[in-house]
Structure 1
Amino acid sequence: MNFTKLFTRTGFGVLFLVAVAACNNNKADKKAGDSTVAAAPAGAATPGTPIKYDSSKRYIYLTWDDSPQPPGTVMSKNVFREEGIKATFFSVGFNQVGPQKKRLIDSLRNGYPQFLLANHSFSHGFRDQYSKFYSPAMTDSAFNDFMRNEKDLKIPVKIIRLPGNNTWASNGQIDGQKSENALVKKLDAAGYKIIGWDLEWHQAAKAKAPKESVDEMLKMIEQRFQDEYTYQPNSIVILSHDRLFEKKEHADSLRKFISELKKDPRNVFETIDHYPTVQKK
């Protein structure tokens, strides 16, 4: 199936309901204001608790991969907190080495509802050997790699991003590069939601730095919304990596990026447990 055909104006919609009126009590959310953070149901602080959507809003899911990668993870987390917006960290178990990195993972897990900890495999696809990781002969081993990561990092949700692969799966609906892969089908059958991405803030060649400028990223986001060229209507999943923002100048670019997005009252930042295909039962 041609993946580009997935991003069409029809076929993947969910019914957008009336906006939630109540604000949660998270300190960072208060700092951002109602225009940047979607309200959660009163008293809800459990990952995966459904929200209702406002069809007049545009939902932005910032998803950062490969944590813990200090200082990039710390810098990104601080910017998100200071700007009062929500973000998801897809984390890798073998990166959690030593007490500092363990505390960092704990801070992400305990940071909900502002931060969500999600699963990016223990070994990052058997240490980037993707052809091996996704081979039929390794299906059980790769599945167990995700299960180990979930257990070791105490990941609170059944949400996965495949390493090195842009695939979506939810309740038997599988789209993307690995739509016929045995591992993907096994994860989906076990009730896991697999999240791809609509737009990536790439890493510059031979440098731990963002490739695209803030203005380029903002322009692409606006164009995707205007063209309705996202996997789900009124929602955009942005992928980047913690390590890109370890230097102050790059963290400042991230801060500018978020500040510019916050200027549009339609934009709402959410964690990926509130993405439409994840909430759909």
Structure 2
Amino acid sequence: MKKKKTLLFFTLLLLMNISCSEFDNSQDIGIDAVSVADSISYPDLVSDSIIETTATIEKSDSLSTRKYIYLTIDDAPLNGSMYIDSIISSEKIKTSLFVVGNAIDGSSRFSRYYKMLQQNPNIEIYNHSYSHANNRYVDFYKNPELVLEDFDKNQSDFDITHKITRLPGRNLWQIGERKKNYNQTGATSADLLVKNGYKVFGWDVEWNYDAKDYMPKQTIDELVEEIEASYNSSRTFTANHVVLLMHDQMFAKVGEKNDLRELITKLKDNNYCFEYLSAYPE
């Protein structure tokens, strides 16, 4: 019995020495004494807290440096819609499409395309007006009330969930209290749209096309360089966020110059994170 008590006594002394040595070492390396003492009594609780704090810091750091790209495609649905749907489905990339209602009403084929695009889980649908200003932009924006009616018709007729718009023929921005490019016709219309609950998006970089054959003017490498330059020079509407404008009709005939999959691959290689405009920061 005495042997057992003696053994227990020395075991307790040994444990106390270990605890003290850990406590002393903690002062040398700058660890909080209370945290270390707690870790001896409640190792699971403290270690979980440390892991959670580290994960939070890493998440915060990654969010502050993340590069966001918004693929936005205007004038859908048109002859490029099937290709767009195919690539976006394959790549599973978040993509934003701005639709024009009179194209859907004017063609049974485009109506089918619209239903197809609606069912794509990687695509969000936004409002590009019903009439596309009938391609008479100056006249269209002379009457802001009619512009609002045009957008409202598109919104309701085609079950567009998000009140996100882009004005035909105008690179105008108004999101919350922030505005850009308001020194042009269409600014009053944009302001009225915002007062009625819409957000108005422009773009930071455009993949330009030739009006004769709708083929891109920039190569994919040139476009990626423009995106990088815009991002690095802070010329974007919001820092770390690049909104890219493309058009449906650019993808009616697809070749090496307008390979959407290659563009997506190169943007991934440049560490861009793809997002919907509905997630764009205010």
Give TM-score, length-normalised by structure 2: 0.74
Matched, 1:74 2:82: yes
Kept in 1: contact 2:216–2:257 (CA 8 A): no
Kept in 2: contact 1:76–1:251 (CA 8 A): no
Counterparts of 1:219-238 in structure 2, within 5 Å, are 219-238=225-244
- Report the CA distance shift for 1:124/1:19 in structure 2 as closer, same or farther (over 3 A): farther
Kept in 1: contact 2:68–2:241 (CA 8 A): yes
Kept in 2: contact 1:202–1:212 (CA 8 A): yes
Judging by fraction of residues, say which structure has more helix.
2
Extract unaligned runs of 5+ from structure 1: 1-17, 22-52
Matched, 1:256 2:232: no
Distance 1:107 1:192 in 2: 25
Kept in 1: contact 2:172–2:187 (CA 8 A): no
| Counterpart residue identity of residue 146, structure 1 | F
| Counterpart residue identity of residue 99, structure 2 | S
Equivalent residue, structure 2, for 1:162? 167
Q: Which has the larger radius of gyration?
A: 2
Which of 1 and 2 has higher RCO (CA within 8 Å, sep 6+)?
1
Q: Which moved more, 1:177-186 or 1:58-67?
A: 177-186
Equivalent residue, structure 2, for 1:267? 272
Equivalent residue, structure 2, for 1:144? 149
Distance 1:179 1:205 in 2: 23
Kept in 2: contact 1:75–1:251 (CA 8 A): no
Shift of 1:19: 10
- Report the CA distance shift for 1:242/1:195 in structure 2 as closer, same or farther (over 3 A): same
Kept in 2: contact 1:244–1:250 (CA 8 A): no
Equivalent residue, structure 1, for 2:91? 83
Equivalent residue, structure 2, for 1:95? 103
Post-superposition CA distance 1:76-98 (Å, at most 9, x none): 22112222211111000011034
Q: 1:64 aligns with which of 60, 63, 73?
A: 73
Aligned residues with identical type, % of pairs: 33
- Report the CA distance shift for 1:62/1:180 in structure 2 as closer, same or farther (over 3 A): closer
Matched, 1:171 2:180: no
Give TM-score, length-normalised by structure 1: 0.74
Distance 2:94 2:57 in 1: 17
Distance 1:206 1:161 in 2: 24
Q: 1:199 aligns with which of 190, 205, 214?
A: 205
SS for the counterpart of 1:248 is coil
Distance 1:183 1:167 in 2: 10
CA RMSD of aligned residues (A): 2.2
- Report the CA distance shift for 1:252/1:197 in structure 2 as closer, same or farther (over 3 A): closer
Kept in 1: contact 2:128–2:166 (CA 8 A): yes
Equivalent residue, structure 2, for 1:134? 141
Post-superposition CA distance 1:29-60 (Å, at most 9, x none): xxxxxxxxxxxxxxxxxxxxxxxx82221110
Shift of 1:171: 2.3
| Counterpart residue identity of residue 92, structure 1 | V
Distance 1:242 1:274 in 2: 22
Kept in 2: contact 1:172–1:188 (CA 8 A): no
Equivalent residue, structure 1, for 2:251? 245
SS for the counterpart of 2:65 is coil
Matched, 1:182 2:188: yes
Equivalent residue, structure 2, for 1:32? none
SS for the counterpart of 2:255 is helix
Matched, 1:211 2:220: no
Kept in 2: contact 1:92–1:121 (CA 8 A): yes
